[in-house]
Amino acid sequence: MIIAVDGPAASGKGTIARALAAHYGLPHLDTGLLYRAVGVSVARAGGNPDDPDDALAACDFPDELLADPELRSEEAGPLASRASRHPGVRAALLERQRAFAAQPGGAVLDGRDIGTVIAPDADAKLFVTASVAVRARRRHAELAAESLESVAAEIAARDKRDMERADAPLKQAEDADLLDTSDLSIGAAVQRAIALVEARLQDRA
């Protein structure tokens, strides 16, 4: 069984994807980490993530980089978003994600284009979202350093860049279920996600 979980920054998609993976005993891939690795590699090499050649050169990063805590920093999100606009970068990371999805027994993947591009035939697709205000409050609680206003502005700018890019933009797949977590606790959001996946599995049976 393949479960695709997409959505914008701080929507809860990562937490929901991890919980679904644990619930169904499936391996999980946070595909955002791959793009974060590219963004951080470009920056460390002194390159520019807006430059397609610099970004492409950073795609053969070593696997150990995926465990580097710097990838989870707030600076890495916009770097990833800028590097991920280039079709060459998306193509370079495609096979790795498809292979993960195709492993025997299935997998849970979360990102921006899992239901639309990476695994269009997924058994269940969730599009997890929440209002910008709620997402900014969540991110702000994780990072004491920045003001709530600047976190909200960064989230809005990243949403816009991710939704407006030409290649694999952030959008809800036609056959994805929408899960708005604005007014849900983590536990309630996870319960709802499991219920939506179960309904899709019933439909397929």
| Dist CA 116 CA 149 (whole Å) | 32
| Dist CA 140 CA 172 (whole Å) | 25
For ligand CDP, which residue of 21, 26, 36, 56 counts as binding (CB under 6 A)?
Answer: 36
For ligand CDP, which residue of 15, 16, 17, 32 counts as binding (CB under 6 A)?
Answer: 32
Closest separation in Å from C-beta 19 to ligand CDP: 15
For ligand CDP, which residue of 28, 86, 112, 138 counts as binding (CB under 6 A)?
Answer: 112
Determine contact, residues 38/83, Cβ cutoff 8 Å. yes
- The Cα-based distances of 85 to 17, 130, 180 in angstroms read 23, 23, 26
Largest CA distance in the chain: 52
Determine contact, residues 71/25, Cβ cutoff 8 Å. no
For ligand CDP, which residue of 113, 151, 154, 177 counts as binding (CB under 6 A)?
Answer: 113
Determine contact, residues 77/9, Cβ cutoff 8 Å. yes
Binding string, residues 60-99; x marks residues near ligand CDP by CB under 6 A: -----------------x--xx--x---------------
| Minimum CB distance to ligand CDP smaller for 162 or for 177 | 162
Residue 154 touches ligand CDP, criterion: CB under 6 A: no
**What phi-psi label fits residue 106: left (phi over 0), alpha (psi between -120 and 50 degrees) or beta?**
left
Closest separation in Å from C-beta 192 to ligand CDP: 19
Q: Where does this chain touch ligand CDP (CB under 6 A) — which range of 50-58, 106-114, 146-154, 184-192? A: 106-114
Residues that bind ligand CDP (CB under 6 A): 9-10, 14, 31-32, 35-36, 77, 80-81, 84, 111-113, 158, 162
